Amino acid sequence: MGLTSEITTFTLDNMGRFLCNTLQEATDSAAVTVAGRPRGFDVIVIGGGTFAAVTASRLFLNDLTHSRRILVLESGPFTLPEHFQNMPYMGGTPDFRAPWDSHPALGYPGLLFSIGGRSLAWGGWSPQLLDAEFKNWPASVVAALTDPYFREASDQIGATDTNDFIYGRLHMALRRQLFDALKLPASAPHAIQLAALPDHAAVRYAGLEALGDLALAMGAAATGGSTTTTGSAAVSDDELRDFLGLKATDTTTRTDMLSLLKLEAPLAVQARTEPGLFPINKFSAVPELIKVARVAASETGGVGTDADARKRLMIVPRVRVLDIITETQSDNWVRVTGVRVKDIDGLEKVISLAAPPNGNQSAVVVALGTIESTRLALNTFKDSLSSRAAQRMGRNLIAHLRSNLTIRIPVTSLTSLPSSAMTSLQASALFVKGKANISGEDRFFHLQITASGLNKLGQDSEAELFKKIPDTEQLDAMLLAGDSNVVITLRGIGEMTPQNADSFIRLSPPKPRIPARSLK
């Protein structure tokens, strides 16, 4: 009989039991034969964070045969069912943890070791790469990312609906003032001119859904002579005014409205959805993983080991993957056969992949963060690929760099803000893309602009701001706002220099053992 929900000091762990399985349950289920076929795992997804949760759910939903089994292994526990800003209380995420040695100057807090990972608390800023940022990328990768993956991701996380989350007089005033300033290149020499940027996602992908529905109805991949329009041509002036929160009588030109939309923060927030459904609000990968886990459980028709063997997706928390087990074939090709893990009791175990059916290869998906993925790759291939790729693993890694600047300005400095008094706390989020030429190379960066103000902050202002601003780490700064001033935080996001020899990840050398001193 399977484990029931456990009573802890403070809670009944009902959600954890409904979502997760133990490692023992997973390995026991893999030893069962169903309809003459062993029920080992065809795919092992290493990690249960943002990328792993989305990957596992896509693999599950795209399996038209309903025959593949997927195992998700996460080193942290289950903590929250969705983004913490969607929860009724402020907080609840586990502490960041860095189980590695790093230079103190980095100041890197580590990762959220939990199911959902960083998607439990991330700010939600999701700008799409510009074509110019794909320099030296394989053309096939760029084409696949551009369509369909960026388009599908924008729709899934809610990046096409940012105006439904951030709006109001403060936002409109800041957006207009920023727009007017950017018209003067000398005022922001490194800002990319708005006319040179692609349209907002809501405009860029307009009409594509209708076009896809038409193609599906026709039973074809293309619509032939269809007159369905897409992109900017599919969006009317009235719709643009609605996107921007402008009045129907507003006289802003179409060109300027398209440019104003490009300043909207590309936030992963869904405020509006299909009729009869509640929006997901701040995006997190956990609800997606919960959905497919419950579908998998409902298909089993029972509980216990035999039912678990029919379960197409199992999630096991608090299991650390040490390395991937491989076999080198006669043609020097390396085949993955399983993973070696350390369970909650500290014991090492091997989880084998299912034997490849009909010539198909079972797979391990590495979906960890950069540092943990590199550790796993080095531990796995430092010997078998020592003369090939191993020496390049952990080299030329590029991360983003960030700096914060918070300022407070008088309300009177906002020339586009109506003079009428406002009593509700308002927030704004804007986005500016920039480029600088350094040593002959174009280097890209962007500014994430968050603002708050315009009321006398009462006792509940912290709770209200907690829900309104995208990044809660700026909460203390935003509390400086009042009815006569606005607090603005500029977050500069840049990129590291490529081919930097000082940028690397390596396995820590063995630490010297300190001999025990005899007591006298």
Residue 13: inside a domain, yes or no?
Answer: yes
Residue 271: inside a domain, yes or no?
Answer: no
pLDDT at 221 over 50: no
> Which residue, 366, 396, 426, sits at the end of a domain?
396
Residue 48: inside a domain, yes or no?
Answer: yes
Across the range 56-75, mean pLDDT stands at 94
As a whole-number percent, the residues of the chain with pLDDT over 90 amount to 45
Specify the 3-state DSSP secondary structure of 227.
coil
Q: Same domain, yes or no, for 392 and 404?
A: no
Question: For residue 388, which amino acid is it?
Answer: R
| pLDDT at residue 302, rounded to an integer | 84
Across the range 90-96, mean pLDDT stands at 87
pLDDT at 185 over 50: yes
Q: Same domain, yes or no, for 411 and 436?
A: yes
Backbone torsion region of residue 281, taken as left when φ is above 0, otherwise alpha when ψ lies between -120 and 50, otherwise beta: left
| pLDDT at residue 222, rounded to an integer | 46
| pLDDT at residue 383, rounded to an integer | 75
| pLDDT at residue 453, rounded to an integer | 85
pLDDT at 396 over 90: no
Residue 369: inside a domain, yes or no?
Answer: yes
The phi and psi torsions of 326 (rounded to 5 degrees) equal -130, 160
pLDDT band of 288, cuts 50, 70, 90? very high
Q: Same domain, yes or no, for 75 and 20?
A: yes
Q: Same domain, yes or no, for 425 and 453?
A: yes
Q: Same domain, yes or no, for 411 and 380?
A: no
Report the range of poorest mean pLDDT among 39-53, 93-107, 114-128: 93-107
Residue 368: inside a domain, yes or no?
Answer: yes
Count: domains in the chain: 2
CATH at 301 = 3.50.50
User: Average per-residue pLDDT in the chain?
Assistant: 86
pLDDT per residue over 301-343, tens digit each? 888 898 899 999 999 999 999 999 988 878 877 789 999 999 9
pLDDT band of 1, cuts 50, 70, 90? very low
The DSSP annotation for 123-161 comes to --B-PPPPGGGGTT--HHHHHHIIIIIHHHHHHHHTGGG
pLDDT band of 190, cuts 50, 70, 90? very high
pLDDT at 219 over 60: no
Q: Greater confidence, 316 or 477? A: 316
Q: Same domain, yes or no, for 423 and 378?
A: no
Contacts 24+ apart (CB under 8 A), 84-90: 84/120, 84/121, 85/121, 85/281, 85/282, 85/466, 85/467, 85/472, 86/280, 86/281, 86/282, 86/284, 90/462, 90/463, 90/466
End-to-end CA distance of the chain: 55
Q: Same domain, yes or no, for 467 and 382?
A: no
Question: For residue 326, which amino acid is it?
Answer: T
Residue 299: inside a domain, yes or no?
Answer: yes
Q: Same domain, yes or no, for 388 and 453?
A: no
Q: Same domain, yes or no, for 429 and 385?
A: no
Q: Same domain, yes or no, for 42 and 64?
A: yes
Residue 148: inside a domain, yes or no?
Answer: no
Across the range 20-34, mean pLDDT stands at 92
pLDDT at 480 over 50: yes
| pLDDT at residue 223, rounded to an integer | 45
Residue 236: inside a domain, yes or no?
Answer: no
| pLDDT at residue 457, rounded to an integer | 55
pLDDT band of 484, cuts 50, 70, 90? confident
Q: Same domain, yes or no, for 392 and 416?
A: no
pLDDT per residue over 427-450, tens digit each? 899 999 999 998 888 999 999 999
pLDDT band of 519, cuts 50, 70, 90? very low
Domain enclosing residue 478, as ranges? 400-495
C-alpha separations of 130 from 127, 223, 444 in Å:
9, 28, 9
| pLDDT at residue 214, rounded to an integer | 42
pLDDT per residue over 226-255, tens digit each? 556 778 888 999 999 999 999 999 999 999
pLDDT at 420 over 70: no
pLDDT band of 517, cuts 50, 70, 90? low
Q: Same domain, yes or no, for 10 and 117?
A: yes
Dmax (CA) for the chain in angstroms is: 94
Q: Tell me the three-class secondary structure of 270-300, residue by residue.
A: ECCCCCCCCCCEECCCHHHHHHHHHHHHHCC
Task: Give the β-pairing of 485-495 and 441-453.
Answer: antiparallel
pLDDT at 216 over 50: no
